Amino acid sequence: MTSFALAAAGIVALLGGCTASGEPLSAGQTSPASAPVRLWPDRKPAPPEEPGRGENLPATVPGVPKVPSGDIRKAPLLTVVKAQVAAGSSFDGAPQFDGATTRKIDACAGERARCPVLKPQYQDLTGDGKAELIVGIDDAADESLTLWVFTLRHGVVTRIMDAAATPLSVEIANGDLILREPTSTPGYATRTVYAWDPRTKTMALRSMEFDQADSPTSAPKRTP
């Protein structure tokens, strides 16, 4: 047999996963697959949620002028904020803030130092190439942050996210809005991700995870 033929035979043996004698090599033992075991199968399951309850439904913001240019940066920030405050919570229509915070929002135009409305942020969260308006409102009473996201639909300002948190940080990554919040367990934080849902036309809750942090100043590590 020529050297070329010997080399070709060796390559075939390697590719075939065989020993020199032509016997197949063992890949080792694999764990047996098992079907999930349902605990307490006779227990009555929880009833399904009522349609719309707990869901971050989109809603137009009444009292805000249309933006014909299609650029939400042209929408007056305080007009949008005050209109949303007047509209109330997206879940039950109740006021989202106490009287003191509402009065501070009303006075933002003349008292910027005490205004709880943070600098507006503009990011494309829906993937259409146009920026959305992200509004954060600090509540000093309980250190919470109210988060609203608005988009334009045919020039009409529409809220697509309404959430509250006590975040360590707020981030945008690949169109996702990520909240990191402290927990009662030292060294751990929660990581909540909101992502655009084309079905509901909202920034919907996609995942919530428990993360480990090396220190209070470092970013939490994602746990399996």
Residue 10 — φ and ψ, nearest 5°? Answer: -65, -40
Q: Establish if 2 belongs to a structural domain.
A: no
Number of domains present in the structure of the chain:
1
Q: What distance lies between CA 104 and its chain's CA centroid?
A: 28
In the prediction, which pLDDT does 52 show?
53
Structure tokens at 207: 């995942």
26 found inside a domain: no
Question: pTM higher than 0.75 for the full model?
Answer: no
Residue type, 4: F
Contacts of 193 (CB under 8 A, 6+ apart): 176, 177, 178, 179, 205, 206, 207, 208, 209
Determine, yes or no, domain membership for 171: yes
Report phi then psi at 96, rounded to 5. Answer: -90, -15
How open is the CA angle 148-150-79, to the nearest 5 degrees? 85
Tell me whether residue 34 is in a domain.
no
Rounded-to-integer distance, Cα 222 and Cα 210, Å: 7
Q: Please list the pLDDT of the chain residue by residue as tens digits (224 residues).
A: 555 454 444 544 444 455 555 666 666 677 777 788 988 888 888 887 665 544 567 899 999 999 999 999 999 999 999 999 988 765 556 677 888 888 999 999 887 888 999 999 999 999 999 999 999 999 877 789 999 999 999 999 999 999 999 999 999 999 999 999 999 888 899 999 999 999 999 999 999 998 886 554 444 444 33
For 44-55, b/e burial (b = at least 16 CB within 10 A) is eeeeeeeeeeeb
* Radius of gyration of the chain measured on its C-alpha atoms: 27
| Of residues 115, 147, 128, the one with CA closest to residue 196 | 128
Q: Is 121 a member of any domain? A: yes
User: Residue 178: which of 151, 217, 142, 211 has the closest Cα?
Assistant: 211
Coil vs helix vs strand at 145: strand
The secondary structure of 176-199 as a DSSP string is EEEEEEE-SSTTEEEEEEEEEETT
Strand partners for 195: 204
Per the structure, the complete domain to which residue 74 belongs is given by 59-222
* Domain membership flag for residue 191: yes
Q: Is residue 199 part of a domain?
A: yes
Let me know if residue 36 belongs to a domain: no
pLDDT at 45: 86
Report the alpha-carbon distance of residue 24 to residue 62 in Å, rounded: 72
Q: How far is CA 44 from the centre of its chain?
A: 32
